[in-house]
């Protein structure tokens, strides 16, 4: 199988410069020799076992990796620990105790600091309150929350008592929330009165109420008073205010000794079918790998001010706003608001005000802010910044260079981190001392073995495209798909022979062994870095009474990377009017939430299909891009 570079990728190839670290970066870095570190990471079990040693274990593990029941791998077998104990309580006997753990900032300029000692007390109160609500080890707790301190506290409180959290991004619609609550059979939902966005308060409670109405498993809804929206009581089930729930709760709570392989959380992500996949992460390996990768890639120290701009509702928020920075004992800045409100320097003002040292965001944010010009970052003092990061989609060299020049002041290396909801932690990424090629995530991290292969499981030569695969297990890998182990095996482990993890991405390696990610191989779109399946979008379209059939593809967008183009066959009796187009846009937005950004809707009489009636999106895509059908072959069907 050969995948030639597509239009989008060739754009990546225009920038040929290699950016080497300055003496100052090397001087400051914990890891000074990239190649030596990669070599050290080749003994995978020894590497991860050494990293696990920095944490407190209630019982030691007896085996680092158990592959007997592959692909249901087990890490740190027999070990018992608690991630909240390690992320919070462990620091209380050190000087981190009075350092800021969470620094909450919003677009209205409000700030709120929580020290490790305060965080411990808040988490314990919430953990006790959840137990009072009947939540026990293994029970699922759903969350539909803005980025806020209570979100982190609630996640950590669940983990402290062994409850499994399932956070749903607060931009998702009623249906998406209800589907996820239902699949996880969640007992409690934690939500808020609203969230701040571009000077407005977006109501979350009414979405939550509607979803709870369709979710009989929810026994209690907990409401955080966050945005000053009047809280109207829902009519279904028991409802409690967060403040009242934790008021008077005991601020001491023993950590549940969790088996390293006990579930920590479920996070739903889009796949190729309509029903999102409940990615399950477990305790020990996730703890070790998220913290280690943050320490190695961003060289995190106690006195850093680390800012990951992701929402807590996505894996990036779970791993790198909450767990990894707290495990590493640093300060994590949580921001709520739009990046360009009240002015296009909103983010840079936050960096300036809080002396942020490490800043991690998505290419779509950079491209969006580039449009307003460099005067906005130039008008702020960004000299506190030391390292920058990028995640979620390939970063085009133009955005990379702008970020490097105008945000990083030609001083800060950019860590382009490739990873996924499923991987839990960064997988392919430079270290601060690496030689950087804009547009490439460089090489697999120490302890990670990635490659580019064809469908027969054979490595493809440099310069050729193929499937991006991970050849050996890693500690923070997903363990299964919730209630669907068969789909887990089929989606990730049975696409090619040899027990190799297939990521769903297409990539190529160059002569220097640098990886260049070219995008998804399956029917998954990346809109502004957010992952959404074509089938989910198509079902949203066909749930409108006028639509008989729908096929959607992603088309290139200069800011968002990709947007939706929909091909629609109408039912008899419906006319192709501009009003209907408007209505369909509104309908899909209502069904899926604002992440489903529609570029164009076209009406058509037929759709290209296989003999078995499956829509051939790749044909639509090839026509759209004006390329040969063979070049966009859908490699994976899951």
b/e per residue 9-32 (b: at least 16 CB within 10 A):
bebbeebeeebebeeebeebbebe
| Residue with smaller CB distance to ligand PRX, 299 or 311 | 311
| Residue with smaller CB distance to ligand PRX, 386 or 520 | 520
Smallest distance from ligand PRX to CB 391, Å: 5
The DSSP H or E segment spanning 575 is none
How many residues can be counted in the chain?
638
Chain centre distance of CA 380: 28
Piece of 216-224, 234-242, 482-490, 499-507 that binds ligand PRX (CB under 6 A): 499-507
Query: E-assigned strands of 295-365?
Result: 305-308, 331-336, 358-361
| Residue with smaller CB distance to ligand PRX, 71 or 271 | 271
| Residue with smaller CB distance to ligand PRX, 239 or 416 | 416
Smallest distance from ligand PRX to CB 594, Å: 16
Chain centre distance of CA 253: 30
5 touches ligand PRX by CB under 6 A: no
Preceding peptide of 342 cis, ω within 30°:
yes
| Residue with smaller CB distance to ligand PRX, 115 or 364 | 364
Of the candidate residues 178, 517, 550, 568, the single one contacting ligand PRX (CB under 6 A) = 517
Question: Which two three-digit tokens encode residue 328?
Answer: 């590493």
| Residue with smaller CB distance to ligand PRX, 96 or 520 | 520
Distance CA 81, CA 67 (A): 21
Tell which residue, 92, 67, 40, has the closest CA to residue 499: 67
b/e per residue 56-94 (b: at least 16 CB within 10 A):
ebeeebeebbbeeeebebbbbebbbbbbbbbbbbbbeee
Instruction: State whether residue 551 is helix, strand or coil.
Output: strand
* 394, 363 Cβ separation under 8 angstroms: yes
| Residue with smaller CB distance to ligand PRX, 139 or 416 | 416
Distance CA 19, CA 135 (A): 51
| Residue with smaller CB distance to ligand PRX, 128 or 423 | 423
DSSP 310: S
531 touches ligand PRX by CB under 6 A: yes
What distances in angstroms separate CA 498 from CA 331, 469, 501, 506, one per listed residue?
42, 11, 9, 19
Tell which residue, 285, 288, 292, has the closest CA to residue 73: 285
516 touches ligand PRX by CB under 6 A: no
365 touches ligand PRX by CB under 6 A: no
What distances in angstroms separate CA 469 from CA 23, 429, 451, one per listed residue?
34, 15, 5
Smallest distance from ligand PRX to CB 517, Å: 4
Distance CA 24, CA 422 (A): 35
515 touches ligand PRX by CB under 6 A: no
| Residue with smaller CB distance to ligand PRX, 76 or 419 | 419
391 touches ligand PRX by CB under 6 A: yes
503 touches ligand PRX by CB under 6 A: yes
Question: Which two three-digit tokens encode residue 472?
Answer: 């050996």
| Residue with smaller CB distance to ligand PRX, 183 or 393 | 393
| Residue with smaller CB distance to ligand PRX, 104 or 419 | 419
Smallest distance from ligand PRX to CB 471, Å: 17
Smallest distance from ligand PRX to CB 113, Å: 27
Instruction: State whether residue 111 is helix, strand or coil.
Output: strand
Piece of 47-55, 96-104, 134-142, 390-398 that binds ligand PRX (CB under 6 A): 390-398
Of the candidate residues 487, 520, 565, 621, the single one contacting ligand PRX (CB under 6 A) = 520
Task: Give 49-60 as a DSSP string.
Answer: HHHHTTS--SB-
Question: How many residues form the binding site for ligand PRX (CB under 6 A)?
Answer: 21
465 touches ligand PRX by CB under 6 A: no
284 touches ligand PRX by CB under 6 A: no
For residues 308 to 327, the per-residue mask of contacts with ligand PRX, x marking binding by CB under 6 A and - elsewhere, is -------xx-----------
Piece of 97-105, 157-165, 227-235, 413-421 that binds ligand PRX (CB under 6 A): 413-421
* 433, 29 Cβ separation under 8 angstroms: yes
| Residue with smaller CB distance to ligand PRX, 329 or 446 | 446
Piece of 131-139, 142-150, 386-394, 606-614 that binds ligand PRX (CB under 6 A): 386-394
| Residue with smaller CB distance to ligand PRX, 220 or 309 | 309
**Rule CB under 6 A: which of 416-435 touch ligand PRX?**
416-421
Residue nearest to ligand PRX (CB): 421
Smallest distance from ligand PRX to CB 191, Å: 22
Euclidean distance between the first and the last CA atom of the chain, given in angstroms as a whole number: 19
DSSP 93: G
441 touches ligand PRX by CB under 6 A: yes
Of the candidate residues 37, 505, 523, 538, the single one contacting ligand PRX (CB under 6 A) = 505
Rounded to 10 degrees, what is the CA torsion of 327, 85, 219, 532? 20
- Torsion sign (Cα): 499, 504, 508, 509: negative
**Rule CB under 6 A: which of 252-271 touch ligand PRX?**
269
Of the candidate residues 147, 394, 424, 430, the single one contacting ligand PRX (CB under 6 A) = 394
Instruction: State whether residue 286 is helix, strand or coil.
Output: helix
| Residue with smaller CB distance to ligand PRX, 105 or 517 | 517
Of the candidate residues 271, 337, 344, 392, the single one contacting ligand PRX (CB under 6 A) = 392
Residue 268: strand pairing partners: 278
Smallest distance from ligand PRX to CB 547, Å: 27
504 touches ligand PRX by CB under 6 A: yes
Longest dimension (CA), the chain: 72
Interacting residues toward ligand PRX by CB under 6 A: 269, 315-316, 391-394, 416-421, 441, 503-505, 517, 520, 526, 531
């Amino acid at each position: 199988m050969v995948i030639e570079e597509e239009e989008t990728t060739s754009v990546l190839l225009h920038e040929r410069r290699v950016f080497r670290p300055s003496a100052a970066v090397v001087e400051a870095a914990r890891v000074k020799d990239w190649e030596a570190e990669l070599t050290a990471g080749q003994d995978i079990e020894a590497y991860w076992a050494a990293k696990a040693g920095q944490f407190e274990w209630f019982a030691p593990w007896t085996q680092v990796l158990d592959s007997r029941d592959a692909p249901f791998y087990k890490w740190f077998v027999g070990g018992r620990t608690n991630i909240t104990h390690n992320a919070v309580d462990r620091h209380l006997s050190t000087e981190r105790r009075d350092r800021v753990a969470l620094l909450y900032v919003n677009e209205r300029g409000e700030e709120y600091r929580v020290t490790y000692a305060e965080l411990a007390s808040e988490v314990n109160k919430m953990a006790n309150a959840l137990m009072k609500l009947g939540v026990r080890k293994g029970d699922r707790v759903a969350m539909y929350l803005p980025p806020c301190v209570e979100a982190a506290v609630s996640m950590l409180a669940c983990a402290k008592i062994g409850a499994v959290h399932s956070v749903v991004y607060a931009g998702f619609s009623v249906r998406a929330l209800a589907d996820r609550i239902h699949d996880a059979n969640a007992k409690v939902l934690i939500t808020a009165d609203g969230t701040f966005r571009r000077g407005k308060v977006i109501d979350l409670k009414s979405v939550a109420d509607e979803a709870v109405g369709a979710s009989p498993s929810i026994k209690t809804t907990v409401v955080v008073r966050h945005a000053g929206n009047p809280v109207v009581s829902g009519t279904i089930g028991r409802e409690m205010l967060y403040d009242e729930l934790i008021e008077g709760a005991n601020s001491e709570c023993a950590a549940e000794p969790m088996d390293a392989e006990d579930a920590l959380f479920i996070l739903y992500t889009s796949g190729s079918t309509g029903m999102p996949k409940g990615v399950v992460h477990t305790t020990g390996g996730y703890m070790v790998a998220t913290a280690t990768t943050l320490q190695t890639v961003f060289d995190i120290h106690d006195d850093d001010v680390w800012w990951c701009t992701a929402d807590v509702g996505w894996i990036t928020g779970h791993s790198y706003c909450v767990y990894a920075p707290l495990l590493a004992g640093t300060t994590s800045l949580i921001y709520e608001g739009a990046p360009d409100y009240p002015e296009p320097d909103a983010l840079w003002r936050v960096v300036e005000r809080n002396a942020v040292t490490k800043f991690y965001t998505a290419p779509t944010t950079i491209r969006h802010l580039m449009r307003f010009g460099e005067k906005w970052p130039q008008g702020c003092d960004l000299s506190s910044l030391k390292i920058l990061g990028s995640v979620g989609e390939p970063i085009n060299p133009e955005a990379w260079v702008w970020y490097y020049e105008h945000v990083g002041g030609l001083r800060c290396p950019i860590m382009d981190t490739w990873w996924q909801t499923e991987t839990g932690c960064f997988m392919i990424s430079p270290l601060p001392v690496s030689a950087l090629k804009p547009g490439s995530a460089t090489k697999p991290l120490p302890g990670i073995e990635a490659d580019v292969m064809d469908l027969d499981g054979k490595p493809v030569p440099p310069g050729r495209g193929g499937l991006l695969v991970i050849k050996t297990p890693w500690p923070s890998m997903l363990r299964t798909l919730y209630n669907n182990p068969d789909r887990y095996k089929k989606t990730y482990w049975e696409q090619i022979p040899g027990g190799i993890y297939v990521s769903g991405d297409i990539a190529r390696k160059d002569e220097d062994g640098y990886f260049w990610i070219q995008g998804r191989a399956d029917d998954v779109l990346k809109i502004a870095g957010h992952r959404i399946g074509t089938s989910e979008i198509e079902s949203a379209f066909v749930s409108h009474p006028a639509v008989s059939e729908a096929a959607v593809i992603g088309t290139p967008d200069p800011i968002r990377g990709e947007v939706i183009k929909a091909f629609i066959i109408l039912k008899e009796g419906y006319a192709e009017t501009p009003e209907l187009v408007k209505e369909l846009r509104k309908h899909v937005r209502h069904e899926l939430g604002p992440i489903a950004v529609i570029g164009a809707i076209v009406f058509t009489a037929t759709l290209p299909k296989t003999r078995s009636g499956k829509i051939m999106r790749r044909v639509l895509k090839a026509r759209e891009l004006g390329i040969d059908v063979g070049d966009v072959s859908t490699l994976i069907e899951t």
